[in-house]
Amino acid sequence: MQIFKLSRKSLGIPYGIFLILFVVLPLLVLFYFAFTNGQGHFTLANLSDFFTDPNTLGTLFYSFAVALVTTALCLLLAYPAAYFLATSSLKQKEVLLLLFIMPMWINFSLRITALKEILTVIEGNLARYPFANAVVGMTYDFLPFMILPIYNTISRLDPSLIEAAKDLGANERHAFLKVTLPLSMPGVISGIAMVFLPAMTNYVVLDMLYNSTYIMGSLIGSYFSAYNWHGGSMIALILLAIIILFTILTGTDQDDRASGTGGALL
Amino acid sequence: MKRIKKLSLLILTGFLLFHTLPYETPGASETTAGSKPASSGAQTDETTGAPVTLRICNWEEYIDLGDWDEEDTIDLESGDIIGENSMIDDFESWYEETYGRKVNVEYSTFGTNEDLYNMLTLGDVYDLVCPSEYMFMKLMTENSLVPLSDAFFDETDDNNYYIKGVSPYIRNIFDNHTINNERWSRYAAGYMWGVTGIVYNPDVLTREEASTWNVLGNPKFKRQITIKDNVRDSYFAAVGALKSDLLTNPDFTSAPDYVQRLEEEMNDVTPETIARVQDYLQDIKDNLYSFETDSGKADMITGKVLANYQWSGDAVYTMDQADEDDYTLNFAVPKESTNIYFDGWVMLKDGINGSAAKQHAAEAFINFCSRPDNAIRNMYYIGYTSVISGGEDGRIMEYADWSYGADEDETAAADYPLGYFFSGDPDDEDYILTVPVSQLDRQLSAQYPSEEAISRSSIMICFDPEKNEAINQMWIHVRCYNIHDVPAWAWVLTGGAAAVLTGIWLHRRNRRRLYL
C-alpha cells in the first residue's frame, strides 16, 4: 500500500520536471531580464519605458483591437453554429462536428497560406485592408476553439430545463434567452479566453497576410532581434500580467456559475 | 518523497545557474574561452590523429547540397561540373584524401545575422560561421574571432584555393576595410557577395522609374512594391531616397573623394538623419505592399507585386524562376547608391578553442569552397556570386560566359567588361563578356554588377552599439501603431465597451450575493 501511494504521487514527477524546465525556469530568466539593465543592475526603467512610449502603448491598443474584433467575429460565427449542432436532431451530428474540428489537424501556416490566395482573389490587392486581413486570418485560425467549448456546454444542457420553461409559458425565444443562453455562458467564456489571448500575440498571421504593423508578439520579437532582451522580457511580463488578470476575471465568474446554476435561471 | 522534491529542485537550480551565466554577461563567455590555455586540446588533437569535428554554421540554402539532375550539368569546355554529393560530404572525403585525416562536419544554418549573434550569445558553439560583413565586424570588435593563419595566405601551396583564386577586387576591399585598426582580411575570408537593387516588372515600370530608391514612395505604384522587413536594408534605402538629389549631383559624383564621401553619406546615423529616415519610412509604409521576410520572391514571381527590394543573389533566383514561367523580370541598381555586401567565413575562439587541427580543417573548408569548380557549383545552386574569380584558373570566367554569353547568331549583342572583378583592371580586354543586350538588365547585371553600378556602391558599416540601438528603436517605431493615431471614435468605443463590461460584472456580482 505504501509503495502504491508513493508511485501514484511520483506519476506527477515527469510533468513536474517538464513544468520546471520549460515554464518556471524560463519565467525566472524572464523576470531577471525584465528588471535589470545592460549592466545587470536592478531597474524599473523597462517598465516605465513601456508605459511612456506612445508606440508600445499604441501596439498594445492595436493588439487589443485586433483581438477584440476577432473574438467578436468568432463568437458571432461560432455560437449559432454550435447551437445548431448541439440542438439539432441530425443523425450525422458527429460527422458535422468533425468537419468543424478537421481544420485544426492541418498546420495553421498552411491554412493561412491558402487563405492568402483566397483573400487575394476576393480583395484584389491584399495590402489595401491590413486590419481586416488580420481579423479574417485569426478568425479562420481560431474559430474551432470557440465552437468546441460552446458546443460542449450546450449539448450537455438538460433538455428538461427547456421543457420546464415552456411548460411555464415561455415561448422559444424566451426559453433561449432565459435558459439556454445564460447556461451556455461558461462555454462562451472559455471560448473567449481561448481566442482573445492568443489573438493578441499571433503575429505570424499578420506577417503572412502582409499587415506590417506590429502586435504584441512581433513587438517582443523585435526587441530580441535588436538585442534588447531587457525591454523584450518586460513586455513579455506585461503581457503575462494581462493574461493573468484576464484569467482571474473570467475564472471567478465561472466558479460562481458552477455553484450557482439556480441563480442564473432566475 | 520530500527528499526527491528537494533533490530535483537542487539539480534544477544548479542547471539554471549554470545555463544563465553566459546570458547575464554576453561578454564574459568570450573572455573566459579566449583566455583558456590552448595547449591541452591542440596537442592531443595533433598527436593522436583522431577525427576532427568541425562545427559550421552557414546561412540557410547557402551551399550546394548535391543530387543534381543530369540536365543541370554545367558543360564547360574545360570539363563538366555537376553536384552529385553535397559540398559537405565532398569536403569530408577530399580532406581525408588530401591530409590523411578524417574530418567530421556538423553543419547547421541560421536565418539572419541577428539570429546567429543571439545563438552565439546563448552559448551555441561553432568553429566556422559565415555572417555578413557588419556582423563579422561586430564579432571582431568583441574579440571573439581567431585570425586566419599565415599558412592560409601562402600562395605557393596548391591547396590554398582561396588566396590563389579570390578576386583582386574583393581582396582589395577585405584588405583596405578596417574596424578598430584591424583589417577584415586578418579574420575573414569572403564567400559570397552582391549588391542590393530592385527587381521589377518591365511591362509596368520603366527602367528609369525602377532605378531609384524613390520608387518605394512613388504613388503611381501604391501598394504594389515590397521591401525587406529588415532595419539595415530599409535604412539604406531610405537614406538613398532622402539624399537622392545630393547623391546624383554631378558635383558630388565627380569629386575626387567621391568613394569615401559616398560611404560617409550612406552610413549617416546622426540623430537628425535617423529622425528623417523614421518619418520617411512611416510615410512610405502605406504606399508599400508590405515589409516582407521571405515572401518577396514568390510574390514577385506570381505577379502579386510589381517591384521588390532584393539582394542580388535572390534577384537572380527570382528572375530564373520567373523565366521558367515565361514571365520576364528585370533588375535595376538604384542610381543614388547600392549597398554592397559580403558574407565571409570567420573562425570563433569559443569553438576552435586553440586546437590547431580544428583551425586547419576550418581553413581547408574555406579553401575547398573556393576551388573554382566548387565555387561554380555553389553559385549555380544558390544564385549568389562567389568572391572567387579563379586567378590562373579560367573556369569562373568560362562559367560566366556559359551562363550569359551571347550565341554566335545573336543580333543584339553588347560587350560587358568584368575586368574590375577578374583581374583588377577595369579595362582588361581578356575579361569582356559578349552578351545579349537583354542581359544588361537581367540576371547578369545582378550576378556580376557592372563596373558602373559598382562605382556607386557603398558598404554599410557596423554601427557602434549606441547608434545601433537608436536605429533599432527607430525601426520599432516605424512598425508600431502610435497611440496618438488612435481615432477619437475608437477611444469613445473603447470607453463605452469598458463601462458596459464593468457594469455587467458589478451587476452580476451584486445579484450573486442576493441569491447565494
**Cell numbers describing residue B293:** 521576410
Q: Do A58 and B469 touch (CB under 8 A)?
A: no
Q: Which of B1, B216, B290 to mutate to test the interface with A (most CBs of A within 10 A)?
A: B290
Q: What are phi and psi of B101, to 5 degrees?
A: -140, 140
Closest chain B residue to A208, measured at CA: B295
Q: What is the pLDDT of residues A222-254, one digit of tens each?
A: 898 888 889 999 999 999 998 888 888 776 555
* Among A40, A211, A259, beta carbon nearest to B24: A40
CB pairs under 8 A between A and B: 128
Q: Judge whether residue A259 has pLDDT over 50.
A: no
Q: How many residues does chain A have?
A: 266
B472 in contact with A, Cβ within 8 Å: yes
User: Of B9, B290, B490, which is closest to A127 when you measure between CB atoms?
Assistant: B290
User: What is the residue extent of each domain of chain A?
Assistant: 54-265
Measured in angstroms, the CA of A27 and the nearest CA of chain B are apart by 11
Confidence of residue B32 (pLDDT cuts 50, 70, 90): very low
| Region B460-481 average pLDDT | 91
| B117–A61 C-beta distance less than 8 A | no
**In angstroms, rounded to a whole number, what is the distance separating the alpha carbons of residues B258 and B147?**
32
A83 compared with A260, residue with greater pLDDT: A83
Q: Are B418 and B433 in contact (CB under 8 A)?
A: yes
Contact (CB, 8 A) for B147 and B136: no
The pLDDT score that the predictor gives to residue A261 is: 39
Higher pLDDT, B22 or A65: A65
Q: Does B455 touch chain A (CB under 8 A)?
A: no
pLDDT tens-digit readout, A38-49: 888 899 999 998
**Which residues does residue B310 pair with via DSSP β-bridges, in sequence order?**
B197
Report the pLDDT value the prediction gives residue A80, as an integer from 0 to 100.
93
Give pLDDT tens digits for B281-294: 999 998 999 898 77
Which fold, A54-265? MetI-like fold (1.10.3720)
Arithmetic mean of pLDDT over chain B = 88
C-alpha closest to that of B384 among B57, B58, B61: B61
Q: Is the pLDDT of residue B319 over 60?
A: yes
Quick: pLDDT tens for A112-132: 989 988 998 998 888 888 999
Average pLDDT over residues A148-165: 90
Backbone phi, psi, residue B458, to 5°? -140, 140
B115 close contact with A: CB closer than 8 A:
yes
| Residue A58 to chain B, least CA–CA distance (Å) | 4
Instruction: Find the residue in A nearest to B510 (Cα).
Output: A263
Closest approach of A244 to chain B, Cα-based (Å): 17
Q: Work out the minimum CA distance from A266 to partner chain B, whole angstroms.
A: 9
Contact (CB<8Å) A57/B289: no
Sign of CA dihedral B388, B394, B397, B398: negative
Buried b (16+ CB within 10 A) or exposed e, B433-460: bebbebbebbbbbbbbbebebbebbbbb
- Return the residue matching grid coordinates 485560425: A141
Instruction: Check residue B233 and give its pLDDT.
Output: 94
Sequence-separated (6 or more) residues with CB below 8 Å from residue B350: B29, B30, B33, B120, B125, B126, B144
pLDDT band at B19 (very low <50, low <70, confident <90, very high): very low
Of A16, A125, A260, the CB nearest to B512: A260
Residue from the list A29, A59, A260 with its beta carbon closest to the beta carbon of B20:
A29
Report the gap between the CA of B198 and the closest CA in chain A (Å). 19
pTM of the model: 0.84
Spell out where B178-304 has E strands: 178-179, 182-183, 189-200, 225-228, 290-292
In the beta sheet, which residues pair with residue B179? Answer: B182
Please determine, for residue B508, whether its predicted confidence score (pLDDT) is greater than 80. Answer: no
Contact by Cβ (8 Å): B305, B201: no
* Residues of chain B found within 8 Å of residue A125, distances taken between Cβ atoms: 223-224, 289
Q: Does B510 touch chain A (CB under 8 A)?
A: no
Which of left, alpha, beta for B100 (phi over 0: left; psi -120 to 50: alpha)? left
Query: In DSSP terms, which residues pair with B59 in a beta bridge?
Result: B110
Smallest Cα distance from B371 to chain A, Å: 35
Predicted pLDDT of residue B40: 41
What 3-state class would DSSP assign to A42? strand
The confidence band for B515, taking pLDDT boundaries of 50, 70 and 90, is low
- The grid coordinates of residue A262 equal 439556480
What is residue A3's predicted lDDT score, i.e. its pLDDT? 55
More confident residue, A99 or B65: B65
Three-state secondary structure call for residue B65 = coil
Grid cell locating A119? 483573400
Interface test with B, best of A23, A133, A227, A229 (most B CBs within 10 A): A227
B292 touches chain A (CB under 8 A): yes
pLDDT score for B46: 53
- Complex ipTM, two decimals? 0.79
The C-alpha cell at B153 is 595566405
Question: How many CB atoms neighbour CB A201 within 10 A?
Answer: 19
Q: Which residues of A237-253 are buried (b: 16+ CB within 10 A; e: fewer)?
A: bbbeebeeeeeeeeeeb
Q: For B290, which residue in chain A has the nearest alpha carbon? A: A210
pLDDT above 70 (res B5): no
For residues B141-166, give the mean pLDDT: 95
Dig out the grid coordinates for B186 from the structure.
586578418
The Cα–Cα gap between A115 and A109 comes to 10
Strand partners, B308: B199, B226
For residue B401, give how far its alpha carbon lies from the nearest alpha carbon of chain A (Å).
Answer: 39
Residues of B in contact with A229 (CB under 8 A): 23
CA distance A67 to A57: 15
Which residues 6+ apart lie within 8 Å of B61 measured at CB? B109, B382
Q: Which helix (H) or strand (E) segment is B339 a member of?
A: strand B338-348
Cell numbers 537593387 label which residue? B197
Helix (H, G, I), strand (E, B) or coil at B61: coil
| Whole-number pLDDT of residue B48 | 59
Residue B165 pLDDT > 80: yes
Q: How far is residue B476's CA from residue A232's CA, in Å, rounded to a whole number?
A: 12
Q: Report CB contact under 8 Å: A61, B229.
A: no
B3, B231, B476, B509: best mutation site toward chain A, by most A Cβ within 10 Å?
B476
Helix (H, G, I), strand (E, B) or coil at B104: strand
DSSP string across B126-168: -SEE--BHHHHHHHHHTT-EEPPPGGGG-TTSTT-HHHHHB-H
Q: Does B170 touch chain A (CB under 8 A)?
A: no
